Structure 1
């Protein structure tokens, strides 16, 4: 696949790194000569200095032969124009743009992005994606990662195995016998920093991070079996009143529950603006690192501190401070991947990485075949993929135990006619089944191939 990426920042670099490692033909465009030099030196891609919306730069990057353009520069308007130029002059089939400004994304303006106006096939809003991720984390305390599949009917939860976890030191194959009505499958395990796909005879141990596929209705029961009985937060303090913080507070308000929210915002004008927009949320002006202000926000009585400022260090330090002042749990927004390794040592319960969220959304459109959703885990070490099985797929027909599957792949759930089926050796996949799979990076290409539309399908 030939892909042009406009923007060599964290997201652009991450996508280029992923696609180049899979032997795609990748060109990266950015106005910064330094970023392009870094891309050329580090990755097997072509780099071009210039504006991604300029026709001559796109032509130089090979737009005539490109299958896809991914515009993720810092500027919404550049991303939109790059897609328009790629469509009008070079007829690039698939156009993806990152758009941050919420005014463009209001439902009654969405006709703007039709083929007759601005022909963008996929719009990605990091703020909305991260906001949704934060809301899922609030709803499921105890999970360090939560993603929905199959129109929200299947959940993937990453759960840390506690010392008192009832399912540790038990072969995975026995879990089905112990809990026959539990539609949960352990797909992947991270142990001592190493991610692997477990076999039926493997056992979980305390400290493992298990990636579990389960039905939406059994998520809380699954968390309980892994030793997590935390109650949903009803008193929340948010550090940062930017787009994500405002989205989270507004969403909580719209649900009309009993959850009380307070926002700490450092910018006076922004604090006034969001205070005018929100009805039941208390907005405090000042720094989330101010001990006195945190006490004023009643952080000691709070169930959850969510740090969503634009500064990773402020998010980390305010989360640590909140815990010291008595807050029960915390969740931090962290962009820099080098910080992820020591968050648990500092007492940070969970973190969200906008870069990972955005890359996951883009990958589901890059993946060929009937791929419906993709979630990247552990910095791209593995992917959780939802795909639709076609009649021509090699997965259709034989029992799962008889399939010739690549190493590093495990079935998590099968969704058929609105019903979740737990995968076992005797189950047969049927056409139109939606399959949730955990695949190590080395197996992704083979998994993708299983869901390709072959020529005899037509």
Structure 2
């Protein structure tokens, strides 16, 4: 597949790297010669200098032969125009645009978006939703509903003192998985992530991904030593798009006491006016201890740091924890900070680029795959896929179909009901499966799911 990506920022280059790794022909356009050069030299893609919305730039990028255009520049308007030009002049089959300004996302203004934008991705809204989900599942550093909420992907830290399954063989746990309502699908240990085999054990200090049935979530969290109550007193640091979207979501819950800290005076006034009564907006530097004391940070259940600066988010989170804040959720863009953040006592890290990549790949992949979620550590992903008649997946019980190493099927959805399969389970055509797969197992996993003779990733 030939793909043009407009914008060589972190999101654009990361998407380019993922698509290039899958064997796609990728060209990245950016107005900055330096950014285009870095993309060209760092990844197996073609970096090109140009304005993404200009017809000549798109022509030079090969738009006439392109199957997909992904517009993720910093400008919503450039992204929309790039999709318009790609559609009208070059007949590019699919166009995806990242839009940030809430005006383009409001239902009453959707007609302002040009029809040639097939898919709109709003990272700020997706990040805010992700944080809100974490607030509803205290103790989990990640929570993603799958299969229309019939199962949940939970990221849980195995506490040293109270993790009830530390030392247990995962093969034994899997045998009783249906009764327990969960299955362990991935482990992150000392910075290394992997899909566990039956002889692997959960160790104290691991970060564990599990697939759980919603009715068992509380008991699953308790098994891992987490019995936290849902946050009722929340402080949001950063009143940008993410912070404002999150504040709006939390305002709907009358039981949440909300405060917002915003550095800019004009922006703080806008937030106060937008959110109205019931929300306290403090203007100033969140790294100022006196301001944190004014926010009564020692009595706060959860602080959410979502400014545009990673360092500010990290440091204010550390200060809040030391001041007595119960839990901190921190937005971090730079992947290189992940090992440091894990050692600082930060409870949950939110990666906008990972969320954006997951959203875009969900629309790039075709055929059987319906949903994708990128796992922490960039080692693999969770997929939701339809079992197709004629594929190897439905030919025999799971213990006999040759599920590759690095892939684990955690749930099957049949006739509207989700259950955790075992080796004797036979997946039927039309079932949906929830599986985790390491990137090293992608080709073998796609071969298991796809129809014989179909191209990888195409499904039917």
Partner of 1:406: 404
RMSD, aligned α-carbons: 1.7
C-alpha separation in 2, matches of 1:309 and 1:203: 38
Partner of 2:55: 55
Partner of 2:263: 266
Q: TM-score, normalised by structure 2?
A: 0.95
Establish whether residue 159 from structure 1 lines up as the match of residue 156 from structure 2. Answer: yes
Work out which of the residue numbers 249, 252, 277 in structure 1 matches 2:250.
252
Offset of residue 247 of structure 1: 1.4
Q: Is the 8 A contact 1:369 1:449 kept in 2?
A: no
Partner of 2:98: 98
Establish whether residue 380 from structure 1 lines up as the match of residue 378 from structure 2. Answer: yes
Establish whether residue 237 from structure 1 lines up as the match of residue 235 from structure 2. Answer: yes
Offset of residue 392 of structure 1: 2.7
Partner of 2:357: 359
C-alpha separation in 1, matches of 2:6 and 2:146: 29
C-alpha separation in 2, matches of 1:453 and 1:118: 33
C-alpha separation in 2, matches of 1:274 and 1:61: 41
Offset of residue 393 of structure 1: 2.1
Offset of residue 176 of structure 1: 4.6
Partner of 2:134: 137
C-alpha separation in 2, matches of 1:201 and 1:345: 28
Establish whether residue 109 from structure 1 lines up as the match of residue 109 from structure 2. Answer: yes
Partner of 2:323: 325
Offset of residue 449 of structure 1: 4.0
Q: Secondary structure at the match of 1:144?
A: strand
Q: Secondary structure at the match of 1:375?
A: strand
Offset of residue 173 of structure 1: 2.6
Work out which of the residue numbers 214, 217, 230 in structure 1 matches 2:215.
217
C-alpha separation in 2, matches of 1:217 and 1:64: 51
Q: Is the 8 A contact 1:185 1:422 kept in 2?
A: yes
Partner of 1:14: 14
Partner of 1:82: 82
Q: Secondary structure at the match of 1:402?
A: coil
Unaligned runs of 5+ in 1: none
C-alpha separation in 1, matches of 2:144 and 2:389: 27
Partner of 2:189: 191
Unaligned runs of 5+ in 2: none
Partner of 1:308: 306
Q: Structure 1's 451 and 120: CA in aligned 2 closer, same or farther, altered over 3 A?
A: farther
Offset of residue 453 of structure 1: 6.0
C-alpha separation in 2, matches of 1:95 and 1:438: 28
Q: Is the 8 A contact 2:158 2:225 kept in 1?
A: yes
C-alpha separation in 1, matches of 2:29 and 2:83: 13
Q: Is the 8 A contact 1:197 1:409 kept in 2?
A: yes
Offset of residue 191 of structure 1: 1.5
C-alpha separation in 2, matches of 1:363 and 1:17: 12
C-alpha separation in 2, matches of 1:338 and 1:231: 32
Q: TM-score, normalised by structure 1?
A: 0.95
Q: Is the 8 A contact 1:368 1:448 kept in 2?
A: no
C-alpha separation in 2, matches of 1:111 and 1:449: 41
Offset of residue 34 of structure 1: 0.3
Kindly tell me the number of residue pairs found equivalent between the two proteins. Answer: 454
Q: Structure 1's 178 and 90: CA in aligned 2 closer, same or farther, altered over 3 A?
A: closer
Q: Structure 1's 357 and 390: CA in aligned 2 closer, same or farther, altered over 3 A?
A: same
Offset of residue 236 of structure 1: 0.8
Q: Secondary structure at the match of 1:205?
A: coil
Q: Secondary structure at the match of 1:181?
A: helix
Q: Secondary structure at the match of 1:167?
A: coil
C-alpha separation in 2, matches of 1:351 and 1:39: 26
Q: Is the 8 A contact 2:175 2:422 kept in 1?
A: no
Work out which of the residue numbers 92, 97, 119 in structure 1 matches 2:116.
119
Q: Is the 8 A contact 1:95 1:122 kept in 2?
A: yes
Q: Secondary structure at the match of 1:274?
A: helix
C-alpha separation in 2, matches of 1:141 and 1:296: 25
Establish whether residue 41 from structure 1 lines up as the match of residue 41 from structure 2. Answer: yes
Q: Is the 8 A contact 2:193 2:377 kept in 1?
A: no
C-alpha separation in 2, matches of 1:46 and 1:291: 47
Q: Structure 1's 406 and 84: CA in aligned 2 closer, same or farther, altered over 3 A?
A: same
Q: Is the 8 A contact 1:367 1:448 kept in 2?
A: no
Q: Is the 8 A contact 2:387 2:431 kept in 1?
A: yes
Establish whether residue 73 from structure 1 lines up as the match of residue 73 from structure 2. Answer: yes
Partner of 1:446: 444
Q: Secondary structure at the match of 1:37?
A: helix
Offset of residue 180 of structure 1: 5.2
Q: Is the 8 A contact 1:320 1:347 kept in 2?
A: yes
Work out which of the residue numbers 388, 392, 395 in structure 1 matches 2:393.
395
Q: Secondary structure at the match of 2:394?
A: coil
